[in-house]
Structure formats: C-alpha cells, structure tokens
Amino acid sequence: MAKQKKKGQAGQAKNYITRTQAVRKLQISLPDFRRLCIFKGIYPREPRNIKKANKSATHSTTFYYTKDIQYLLHEPLLAKFREQKALQKKIAKSLGRNELQDAVRLERNGMPKIKLDHLVRERYPTFIDALRDLDDALSLLFLFANLPSTETVPPNVIARCHRLCHEFEHYLITTNSLRKSFLSIKGIYYQATIQGQDIMWLVPYRFVQRVTQDVDYRIMGTFVEFYCTLLGFVNYKLYSSIGLVYPPRFDTASDERGAELAAFTLEGRNVADNAIENGHATKQLTNGHAQDQNSADVQATIDKIAQAGDNEASEQVQEEPTEDVGNDGDVDKFEVAAPEGDELPQPQASSNEAAALFSNLTFFISREAPRHPVEFLLRAFGCKRIGWDRVLGEGAFTFDEADPKITHQVVDKPVPAVTNAEQSTAKPGYIVAGRIYVQPQWIWDCANEAKLLRTDVYAPGATLPPHLSPWMRPVKGQYDPRATLEEQQLEGEEDELSEEEAQELLENAEPDVSDDEEDVIDAAEGMTVEMADGSDEVEEEEDNVDDTFGGFDAEPDAESANEEDDHQVELAAEAAGKSLSRKTSQKSSKDKRKQERLTKQKKEDEEVERQKMMMSNKKRKLYEKMQHGNKIKDAEAEKLRSKRRKIEQKQKR
C-alpha cells in the first residue's frame, strides 16, 4: 500500500508561507523583516489557490515563497539587526535609571553600522544588470534630493542624494551621454544611453514640496538607503571607465552658495597623481575657464596624456582592417519604402553630434528661468560658457548681462526694448542689440531634434509650438499637432461640417447667392415649367421613361436629377447672358465630390463585407474589435482636427 500524503505538507501549502510565519522563523521584528525583504529584493507572492496555500484558513494574509525565506536565514544582516535590538534594550535600561550620558554614549558609539555592499554584488552580478535597474533608483534619489528636511526625511539623507545625483550628472556632461528630455506635468524626463543601455528617469520641478502624512517615508527611506549604495557603485564604475577620480572633489562652501554642479572638481587619475607629486593642486574644471585656470605644469601634463591617448587610438585604428564605409559622423536615416508603410525608428544622435550642438554658443540664463535644468541640458549638449545673475549662485561664466560675448539669452517673460539712451549701459532685463532671445522650450526641442531650430518661433511672448514627447512616433491617421491640417485630414473632411459648425455658419454667414443668380435660377425654373406644360416631346419622353425599368437603386435617379437641375441653371444663365458666381460653382462641385465619395465608400464597404463572409467566426470577431478600436481613435483625431479648424478660421477672420 502506497504511503499516504498528509494534508498541508505538499503542494502550495508547502511552497508558500505566510508573513507571520516568516517573521517567527527569522526571529526578527516586522519593520526589520520589511527592510530585509527590500534589501534582498524579495516581494510578496500570490498563490493560484489561496485556500490551499493558507491550509483552508479564510482570513486574508500575505504570502511569500518558502525558498525565499529559507534563503534569508543565512543573511549576515540578521546578526546586525539582533545587535541593534540588544543595544536598544541597553539604551532603554539607561533611560529608565536616568543615566542620560550612558544612553547618549551607547547611541553614538555602540550602534552597529549596516553595509549593503554585498547585497549590490548579489543582486547585480554584472554591471549591465545594474544599469538596467537604474531607472527607479535615479527617479527616487532625485525626488528625495528635492524634498524638504523633516523628522522622517533627515537632512543628511537629502544631502547624500543631492551629491550622488550631481556626480551622475557630471558623468553625463563629460561623456555627452544624454539623448532626450521632455517637460511634462509630473516633472522633467531625461533619457541617457550608457554602454548601450537606455536609462530614463524623472526629476520633479523645484517647487515648494508639502510633505503629507499619508506616505510611509520609512519604506521609501529603506529603498533610498539601498539605491544610494547602488548609485555609488555605478558612479565609481563609470568614473573609472573614463579615467576620472571618484569621488570628485566637493567644495561644501561653494555648494552652500548655490554653485551646485560647479561645486565639483573633476580630475583624471594620472593628472591627479602627477599634480600631487609636483605639489600642484588641480583647479576646478567648470564653465569655460577650466583650461585658463590650470597651472602651466598641470596643463602640460594634461596635453601630454591627451596626445598619448590619441596616438594609442590611431594605432588601434591602423591595426584594424579597413572597410569601405561612409562618413562615420553621419547618422543613417531610414526612409519609408512604400507610401503606406510603417515608419521605422530613426537612430539617435551620436555623442559627437550631441557635444557639438551648443558648443559654439554662449548663453545667459535670466532670473525667472529654471537655472539648474537649463544649465544641465546645455552643458550635456556641449555648451561651455553659461552665465546667470549673481543671485542665482556661483559658478557662472559671467554675471554681467551686458557681456558682448553672450549670443543667446534664455528668458521666460516678455523683454522690454532698450532705448537709444540706454543702449550704451544695457540695463538688466532689457533687450540688447545683436543678441538672440529664446524661451526655455527652444533648448529642449533642439536637444530632441539634435539640431538648432528657428529662434523666431520661440521668441519671448510668442505662442510656442507644441512640445511633444520625443518617445512617441507619429502614427498614420492620428492627430499630429506639428503637421498642418491639409497633410493629415481625410479626403473630404473639410467639406463635411458638423451640425454645430453648420448652424454657426448659417447664423453668421451672409447669403451666398446674389440677385443676378436668383434671376437666373428663377428663369431656369420658368423654362422647366413651360417645357413641362407645352411640349409634346417632353410628354413622349416621360412616357418612354415610365415604360423602361429603372432598377432597384434610386441613387442614380437622384444624381441624374441633380445634374439636370444644374444643366437647366446653366442654360438659363446662358440665355440671360450672365455667368454663375464662383460660390455657386464651388457648391455644385462639392456636392459632386461628396456623391463620388459616398459611392466609393459604399463599394469599399460592400467589398469588406464580402471578405468578412469568407472569414471564420473567430477571425471575424477579432477584425471587428480591431475596427471598433480604430473607429474610436479616428473619432478622437477628427474631433481634435475640427477644434483646430475652428481656431484657424477664427484667426483668419
């Protein structure tokens, strides 16, 4: 006889474990269990059969994989958590005895420090794995870098996130890895390409943040603690890959005065070693004056290392087999082979093109413009000379708004013109002759298009063009705000007005038919009446028409009747020696085009119905669902086009 299996010891009852059982098995508190699961990347699971997994219990609970909890039994952090718990008991005893000095001493010196280095190596075996999981880390760290300090969010955490984010931005600026950016309601989206991996993160706007009580900042703080360790590892690897010292030198006093990116000093490994040996300190590499601020010896060392690197690169190129290729700097563009074919995704701009986009321009950021996003985007795309007002902080190329070297000024409000008397002094906030003024959106659109756009469209006070997401491709049939109505509207869509539009036109429009045209139409009606009453030939023709079979379709009769009426109007106009106006001819041509479209659409619908009859039931239902979704999208696009058509008509009036 086979051995009988006991209930609750196999299957889902054995594969899953409740959270209460897991906490008891690990012998830690619930907050420590949550922290440990976040650090290790273990999440709750939902079994297929909750009743079997819960051993016929009906209460709701959270389940985990049993193997995951067994994996946590060997975690070194469990010993740290137990040491912290024992220390908290000692501190509580000291406070109970009124020994405040002993409690403070134990809290300062006895608290065990938790290191998460081994967890980063466990969860990310390769560096590419860490880059792929960097999206959420960057979004959360940039969020905490902009939060105000509270009891739940201490200032040291905010300062650490702020510093790590700026270090990552310096790497993007140095390597020109930033590719796209988008201004949305939630914040500013950025996308960078690092070692072939596309990384996208969200940075909130620098508004006054209100910390609400409905958010559990303890859990978010646990994620921040792990992500800070992860980003520190990633920054070290990225800086080392391009030959820079990590961490870069950080000037705390300059950062307190609002320098932000300019508070960091980047230096190469060999350059730093030689400078230390020779007793020279490397100056700060920032904002256009880096080469001028270095000493002669340090600058000679930099040139020597750069020349050696160029020679090594040229030798490697010579060793490789040569191939017949075109210009490496040019990016291939995939064109659509067929007029109705899908549009292929175009390749992104290279780092060389990104580095040369704003390299020849000098910018000045006005007070009302957001300084840090504009500065970061300009420097990431090659700009070396950026100035701003002194009240915005240190690190500017120039604080003088009247500097003649400035070619472009970023403003976010209309700028008054300078009079002839004030032109020599050039007051701040006034237009300077020979300088281009643009709104901040121009920088984002130029970066997304990888080319310099027209500046007159982005002039101060002008209505800006639509700022669309660079990750959305235009789909045929959908509304595209960048294209004109003639390019995207369907055939005959402009002629077919809705009831509301037609009512508005009838109320506001003047009569289209002139007095001469009314006389011609009346004459034509009189001619038809006389011919119908006094001509025997017409009666004979009508008898012959009645005897013949006209078919089942009444539409050709209506069409022929309209043609006869138009012909009678033309004959009357010729008899009266007058010509019909352009409006009447356009009206008749519109009716003819509409009739042709209806006939063509009817034939296409009949052909589709015949093809649907040949389909199976499953395919026919799937096709109908697809058509239903397409009709909804077409209706939305048509609604947007009609709104735009109304706006353009009002502007023309």
Domain presence at residue 320: no
| Token couple for 123 | 């969860």
Number of domains the chain is built from: 3
Among the candidates 266, 285, 313, a domain finishes at 266
pLDDT value for 158: 94
**Better-predicted residue by pLDDT, 524 or 53:** 53
Do 251 and 143 lie in a common domain?
yes
- Summarize pLDDT for 592-615 with one digit per residue, the tens: 777 887 888 888 888 888 888 888
CATH number at residue 395: 3.40.50.10190
Contacts of 43 (CB under 8 A, 6+ apart): 37
Whether 68 is in a domain gets the answer yes
The reply to whether 450 falls in a domain is yes
Ranked by mean pLDDT, which of 54-63, 131-140, 578-587 comes out on top? 131-140
State how far the Cα of 321 lies from the Cα of 359, in Å rounded to an integer: 33
Distances (CA, A) of 292 to 274, 288, 295, 347, 396: 19, 9, 8, 37, 15
Q: What is the pLDDT of residues 510-521, one digit of tens each?
A: 444 445 545 544
Q: pLDDT per residue over 117-128, tens digit each?
A: 999 999 999 999
Looking at the fold, whether 164 and 262 belong to one and the same domain comes out as: yes
* 153 and 60 within one domain: no
Question: Of 307, 549, 342, 353, which is closest to residue 449 (Cα–Cα)?
Answer: 353
Q: Is residue 220 part of a domain?
A: yes
Question: Which domain-ending residue is among 409, 443, 472?
Answer: 472
Looking at residue 633, its pLDDT comes to 85
pLDDT tens track for 205-222: 998 888 888 888 899 999
What does the pLDDT look like over 486-511, one tens digit per residue? 777 776 666 655 445 545 544 554 44
| Domain coverage including residue 254 | 139-266
Q: Is 168 exposed, middle or buried (0-12, 13-18, 19+ CB in 10 A)?
A: buried
Provide, rounded to the nearest whole percent, the portion of the chain with pLDDT above 90: 39
- The verdict on 146 and 104 lying in the same domain is no
Domain-embedded: residue 56: yes
Tokens (6 digits) for 471: 């990750």
Is 76 contained in some domain? yes
Span of 45-54, 114-123, 524-533, 576-585 with lowest mean pLDDT = 524-533
C-alpha 561 chain-centroid distance: 57
555, two tokens: 């539409």
Residues forming beta bridges with residue 387, ordered by sequence position: 364
Are 103 and 194 in the same domain?
no
Domain check: are 239 and 145 in the same one? Answer: yes
Q: Which helix (H) or strand (E) holds 409?
A: strand 408-410
Same domain, 256 and 154: yes
Q: How many CB atoms lie within 10 A of CB 196?
A: 7
Tell me the average pLDDT across 442-456: 93
- 257 and 364 belong to one structural domain: no
Do 145 and 238 have their domain in common? yes
Residue 305 near residue 413 (C-beta atoms within 8 A): no
Fill in the amino acid letter for 320: E
Q: How far apart are CA 533 and CA 284, in angstroms?
A: 103
Confidence of residue 353 (pLDDT cuts 50, 70, 90): confident
> Of residues 559 and 368, which shows the higher confidence score?
368
- If asked whether residues 378 and 458 sit together in one domain, one would say yes
The predicted structure's pLDDT at residue 53:
83
Query: What pLDDT score does 370 carry?
Result: 93
In the numeric block, which tokens belong to residue 474? 């235009």
Q: 322 or 48: whose pLDDT is higher?
A: 48
CA distance linking residue 184 with residue 201, whole number of Å? 12
Compute the mean pLDDT over every residue in the chain, rounded to the nearest whole number: 78
Verify that 102 and 201 share a domain, yes or no.
Answer: no
**Measured distance CA(77)–CA(317) in Å, rounded:** 50
Q: State which H helix or E strand residue 200 sits in.
A: strand 197-203
Amino acid identity at 393:
G
Q: What is the pLDDT of residues 621-650, one digit of tens each?
A: 998 898 888 888 888 888 888 888 888 888
Q: Which of 244, 266, 288 finishes a domain?
A: 266
d(CA 234, CA 249): 18
Does residue 49 form part of some domain? yes
Ramachandran angles phi, psi of 189, nearest 5° = -90, 140
* Comparison of pLDDT for 435 and 586, the residue scoring more: 435
In the predicted model, is pLDDT for residue 285 greater than 60? Answer: no
Determine if the peptide bond prior to 347 is cis (ω within 30°).
Answer: no
Residues 240 and 354 in one domain: no
CA dist., res. 185 & res. 171, Å (int): 27
CA distance 383 to 334: 29
Does the residue 426 lie in any domain? yes
Query: Of residues 447 and 208, which shows the higher confidence score?
Result: 447
